[in-house]
Chain A
């Protein structure tokens, strides 16, 4: 069941209407861009959590 965490990045990136927006902007980046950049560490973190759970 913990592996459901691995599906979150799929949902978050493949449902494009979630993030195909100009605003809110961050440091000059439209939402579309900073959202995708922010997802990279989040996906990484989720994978790490699954790894930690499976190791213990």
Chain B
């Protein structure tokens, strides 16, 4: 495919990329503040209202990799790939109930990360470290996958005879990203998210109207998919018997894990109030409609007989269905869809490294300026690490690690989510539960060839993240009951019950 260079597509792409690069640097002066404070650089000063937060979180959670990988899965296996829909439907009622409490307590105590909260709530360094390590481990491969989202787009536009063209393009894009993230912090992806999300909506609207029109309507698209699956002898546009349980547990586990990821936490804590988050829990589902429609492109690709498979399905479908200039526009939308989350992920991970590794273990008495410098440099290193990852290691490695990352992320659920509602568990019990969950989850997944699903005898196939979470909770509960026979350790708690409630009666 590297034979042709699609100059028109590249030109349109370059125009939009240049536009957001300017925006990324200008962002440092948007709602100007002293960026040498970590809560300004890394959380945008916690001042983003409903509107900005909607774009920021939407741009953050619905990533380029989602746009590429979800339709790829749908075109390969059918209905099962749609677990992303129940997943994002239930994620928001969960966010509504949980995240405003997190925002309140973090705002009151100037916590920037989940590990900061854990430290304050439980007074246990090791548990806080466990939460921080989990976040960084789960984020690294996720950033790498964003790069892969960009890479497939570059590939589709072609490089002619240029060797390693996509690696060079990736490196250029990432150096630019790294520079404006360094100077502008969270303000850069927040501002770019407006452009990115608007472009994604235009791309999706065009795709869901124009492509089925060419293919004879949605009925024809579903028929073609059903025929293709029955010819292949696998998959289908409905779930087969035995698929319901993994479908539902994968949706539930993913929904629980989503807002534990550092990039989701960063986007949430940057909001200006608990009510901003509540309103976003009501409004963010609009993105889920877009996600569902994007998933349908998997079937459209089958119906259009796109000569590509896996991650190349969507770019190939775009190239085939649209004039070249509009393909360039769509590709720019997808590439920006990689940059926004990659920036926020690296900021979220940098906040963790600064607050929960550097401060407790390297320099206890950092000035605000030193703190923000550590975070800025860390964000550079993390992005560089992800780039090295993608260029030098096999693709499968990043995908496997990202899958394990979801399982790992769920293991901080008892500490963080349950911890937001009650201070019942002993911190050492939570740490033991976490360790068990991490080991069991990794081992079970490994034993089936790094897959998310494990067949439990007598129950059926279940998402491994939930199995590990169950073991985690059981162990933490038993140990807490045993240890509480003496005295409780609740006096280590620096937070008060009212810290979790809205400060003023919920009017804003």
Contact = CB atoms under 8 A, between A and B. Distances in A.
Interface in A3-56: 3, 6-7, 9-10, 13-17, 20-22, 25, 27-30, 32-33, 36-37, 39-41, 43-44, 46-48, 50-51, 54-55
Contacts of A25: 219
Given A9-B90, A36-B292, A44-B92, A51 B278 contact: yes
A39 to B, nearest CB: 5
Contact of A50 (B96, B239, B248, B279): B96
Contacts of B238: 20-22, 30, 32
Contacts of B92: 43-44, 47
B86 A6 contact: no
Interface stretch (B103-111, B193-201, B281-289): B281-289
B496 interface: no
Contacts of B285: 40-41, 43-44
B364 interface: no
Contacts of A33: 82, 222, 292, 296
B154 interface: no
A28 B217 contact: yes
Contact of B222 (A16, A17, A29): A29
Interface in B231-290: 237-239, 244-245, 247-248, 251-252, 278-279, 281-283, 285, 288-289
B319 to A, nearest CB: 25
A24 to B, nearest CB: 13
A21 B218 CA distance: 17
A40 B218 CA distance: 20
A36 B468 CA distance: 28
B282 A20 contact: no
A28 B238 CA distance: 14
B248 A14 contact: yes
Contacts, number: 99
B89 interface: yes
A33 B217 CA distance: 15
A6 B97 contact: yes
Nearest to A32: B238
B160 interface: no
A7 B89 CA distance: 11
B174 to A, nearest CB: 34
B222 A30 contact: yes
Interface in B74-103: 79, 82, 85-86, 89-90, 92-94, 96-97
A14 B86 contact: yes
B492 interface: no
Contacts of B222: 28-30, 33
Contact of B90 (A10, A17, A20, A55): A10
A43 B93 contact: yes
Interface in B174-201: none
Nearest to A17: B244
Contacts of A29: 218, 222
Given A16-B245, A32-B82, A37-B85, 4 more contacts: A28-B220, A36-B86, A36-B292, A37-B292
In the A-B complex, the 4 residue pairs with the smallest Cβ-Cβ separation, listed nearest first, are A28-B219, A28-B218, A13-B86, A16-B244
Interface of A: 3, 6-7, 9-10, 13-17, 20-22, 25, 27-30, 32-33, 36-37, 39-41, 43-44, 46-48, 50-51, 54-55
